[in-house]
Structure formats: C-alpha cells, structure tokens
Amino acid sequence: FDLTKRLALVLQYDGSSYSGWQNQKNFITVQGTIEEKIAALDPIRPVKVIAAGRTDSGVHASGQVAHFDCAGPIPIHKWTSALNGRLPKSIKVLEAVQVPRDWHACYSAKYRRYRYTIFNGSYSNIFLQNISWHKYRVRLDDNSMRNVLNELVGLHDFAAFQKAGSNRINSLTTVQEVSICRDGDIVTTEIQASGFLYGMLRLLMGQLVAVGEKRLSLEKFKARWRGGLRSEVR
C-alpha cells in the first residue's frame, strides 16, 4: 500500500550564492539545499525535488514551483513552517500544497516567466547590484529593443538562442508575452513562454542589448534568430 504524497512548493530564493538550481557535484545549489532539509524531515530516500524550470548561477526566483514526494507524518499544512525553519534566509517556501500523484512541476506548467533588469545609469547602484546588469556606456534605445522583441511572440524555432549541451529534441518554443519598460535608469524586460531553451534568456538579452546600443541592426537581429545563426550569437 503506497502512502506517499506529492507536495507542490512555491519558492522564493536569492540565487547570488548558489551555482544555479540543479544539483552539481562540489557546488552549492538551490535544489541540493532544499533536498537536504527535506531529507531530515521525511523517510523517503532519495529525496528528489523537481522544479518547473532550472535557473542558472546567480539567478533569483520570486515564484519558482517545485514538487517532491513524501511519506512521513508531517501534516501538509506544516511543511511550509518546517522547511522555513531549516532553510537559509536566501530560500523561502511561500506555500506547500498536496497535488495529485501524476502532477509534475515541469510537465504540468503552462508557462514560465522571466524578468531581466538592466541598470542603465552612469554609475552602479549598490542596492541593485545583485538583481541587475549594469550597462552604462550607452543610453539604451528601449524602443528598438521593444520592436525586435515583439517579433518573437508565437511558436518559433529559437535555435539561435540555444547553448550547446541541451538534451531537447528540438528548439521550438512558444513565446506568449513580452514587454520592455524604462523607469529612469532601470530597463526591465519580461518574457513569458511555454518553456525556455538552455541558455536562451541570456543569449537573447545579449542580442537585445546590442540592438539597444546600436551595435546590431534590427534587420541583422531578425536574420540571426529566424535563420538559426547560432554561430553569430554571442
């Protein structure tokens, strides 16, 4: 008789001190840290926490969704406080709920949404250092960036924005929503998609910034991603 339950977690974390989400030998990761704390509370071995999407080194999350299976006596409503009492301050469980056994944080997800913040002032802002990319040499043309970003909406092949090492069978994904807004020196880009390719966001943002700095024309940007010219994307 199987007494295991599947729990879904909503997580926040500051990724500054972690080598990304996914477990890596000899590196401290968000996944490894959470699994260690769950293992101290529940008898199931090995503990495996699956996230809706893997974040890279230094990337933060405001609403990461993950799941794991448990069989111990801890009531569902106690898991949030039990984990928060053991996790470091850089990781916080916002909610823990029981879900069906066939529910999967990754495969059941309808979308993933990323926010990328650029600080475009002449001098760095110490309060934004860990949550922004400082680009100060040129005033970014956010209107040009917005124009090229809008073209990405829909189902497309984004091979130009996929790093080597991915195990996906293709590079198709659906970009659902995009936005770029400027508030003084802060330029915020948000992209929502059915899924993101390995390294997609950082490669895409590098190209968008090149457009904003007038180092890359709108026509060249379009030709690179529509033509799958990965060798031209840095």
Enumerate the β-bridge partners of residue 6. Answer: 69, 99
Q: In terms of Cα–Cα distance, which of 99, 106, 92, 94 is closest to 37?
A: 92
- Indicate the helix (H) or strand (E) that contains 30: helix 30-39
Residues 14 and 55: beta-carbon distance below 8 Å: no
Report residue 21: phi and psi, to 5°. Answer: -75, -50
Question: What residues act catalytically?
Answer: 56
Q: In terms of Cα–Cα distance, which of 186, 191, 94, 95 is closest to 146?
A: 191
